Amino acid sequence: MNNKVNIFDTTLRDGEQAAGGSLNLQEKLDIARQLEKLGVDIIEAGFPASSPGDFEAVKLIAREVRQPVICALTRAHPKDVESAWAAVKGAERPRIHIFLSTSDIHLIHQLKKNRDEILAMAREMVAKAKKYTSDIEFSPMDASRTRPQYLYQILEEVITAGATTVNIPDTVGYAIPEEFGRLIAGIFKNVPNIDKAVVSAHCHNDLGLAVANSLAAVKNGARQVECTINGIGERAGNASMEEIVMAIATRKDLFNLTTGVDTRQIYKTSRMVSELTGFPVQPNKAIVGANAFRHESGIHQDGVIKMPITYEIIDPRSVGIPSSKLVLGKLSGRHAFKEHLAEQGYSLNEEDLNRAFAAFKELADKKKSVTDRDIESLLAEERRTVTEVYHLDRIQATCGDCGMATAAVRLIDPKGKACEDAALGTGPVDAVYKAINRIVGVPNSLTEFSVKSVTEGIDAIGEVLIRIEADGVSYTGRGADTDIIVSSAKAYMNALNRMLSSRLRTG
C-alpha cells in the first residue's frame, strides 16, 4: 500500500462555509497560492453552482494555480456537474467532486428518495462527470450514519462508473475513532473493487474528534485526508490540516507514512487564513497557537533550556516559527528588515518592501522594540490596504468621564478628494464610526467587535476585528496600531472597503 497520504485542503470551500466567514476573489487566490507553496496535493477551490462568485473563484484558481489538483464540488445534478466542469476545466489537473447523501436520516427527511433512486443518481452523475475528466471523487454524505452494507454497495457502484477517489465523510462529527477506523477497514474488506480507488476521510469536529477520526482512517488504509487550515469550517469546524500533518510527521514510528507538505510554511499559512477570514486562532491551539511553544512552568523552562525535546515534541522551526525572537528597533536598517522577513518566509517585491519598511520605521518610533508578532501584524496591515476605495488619512478623538466623546475624521475618496466630518458618540470608537459613516454614506450594521493585544507590554499593538452586515452579507475587517482608537478606525475602514469593492465588482 502507498505510504504517502494525500492532503486535500478544503479551506476555500468547507472552511469558508463557517458562519461569519467570507473571502473575496483576490483573497481566495492569495490563499490558494499559499496552499500551493505549502505543498498540499489537492485544493478544493469551491462549489461553482452555489453562486456566481464561487464559480469565478474556482475558474480563476484553476487558471492561476498549476501544481496541485484543483477540485470543484458539485451536487449529483446534471447542471451542477456541468457548472463544476466549466469552472475547473482550465486547471492543469482538474477534479470533479460529487456528493450525495446516503444515510436513512438524510434520505427520509431531506431528499425524500429511496436507496435505489440514490444508487441510480450516483451512477449517472459519476458517469456524466467521467466524460469531462478522468479524476472523479465521490462522497456518500453522512457516511458514518449510513448502513454499512448500503455504503459498500454504493461505493462499488460509483467505482465501477468511474470514481477514482471515494471519500468517507463523518458529516456531522458523530463518529468515535475506533468506530470510524472499523468503518474504513470494513470498506477495504467488503468493497470488491476498492483497489481501483483512493479511500479518503472527511471528518467534522462536533465532538472534538475530527483529527483523531482522520488519523484512525489513515491507520486503517485511507490515503487521502480532507482538512482545513486552522480547522475552520461548518459548525465546530473540520479536521485541522496542521495537526494531521504534524501528527504523521512526529509519529513516524507509529504511522510510517509521509505527506508532501512543506511544514515550514504551516505557521505563515495559518496566519494568512486567520487574517483574511477574520477567525482568530485560540492561544492553546495545537501547532499554531500563540502558546504552542511557550513555557511558563519553572520545571518546563529548566528542561527546555537544557534540552528542548524534554518538553517540546516538535521543533518550532519545523512549522515556520523561529525558535528565537530577533528584536528589531528604530535603528534597524532596511537590509536587516528585509533579511528578517526572509527568515520568516516573506518575500516582498520592491514596492511592497518599501511600504512595509516605512510602516516598520513608523512603528519603531512608537515602540522601543519590535517583535516578530508585531511584524506579522504590520504585514497583515499592509495587505489590507491593497483594495482601498476610501483611505483613512487622519483621525482625532477625545473622550472622558465628564465630557462627550467626539471624533473628527479625514478620508480620501476614490477621486483623491479629502473628505472631512465629525460626530459625537457614546464613546470614542462609536464617535469615529459615526463620523466615517457620515462621509461614506453606506448603511450597515456592526455585528461584531473584538480587541486583542498582539504582543505584551503597555506599548503593544492592539488588533481589532469587526464584522459589519449590509443587505444580508457579512464583511470582516481588521486593523492594528499601538493606538486602539486608530486600530478600530482601520478595522472599520477595512470592512467598509471590502463591502464597497464587492459592490463595484458586481456593478
Residue 259: the pLDDT is: 98
DSSP states of 100-142 = EE-SHHHIIIII---HHHHHHHHHHHHHHHHTT-S-EEEEEET
The answer for residues whose C-beta is within 8 angstroms of residue 65's C-beta and 6 or more apart is 29, 32, 33, 35, 36, 43, 91
- Length reported for the chain: 507
- Report d(CA 475, CA 494) in Å as an integer: 9
| Residues 55-101 pLDDT 10s | 999 999 999 999 999 999 999 999 999 999 999 999 999 999 999 99
Contact of 459 with 448, CB cutoff 8 Å: no
To 10 degrees, what angle do helices 484-505 and 372-384 make? 40
Coil, strand or helix at 450: strand
Report the candidate in 124, 126, 120, 130 with the shortest Cα–Cα distance to residue 139.
126
- Which residue has cell 481588521? 478
- Which residue has cell 452523475? 125
| Residues 254-285 pLDDT 10s | 999 999 999 999 999 999 999 899 899 998 99
> Which of 26-30, 143-147, 332-336, 403-407 comes out lowest in average pLDDT?
332-336
Residue 367: the pLDDT is: 66
Residue 388: the pLDDT is: 78
pTM: 0.76
Report the candidate in 77, 65, 84 with the shortest Cα–Cα distance to residue 9.
65
| Residues 33-46 pLDDT 10s | 999 999 999 999 99
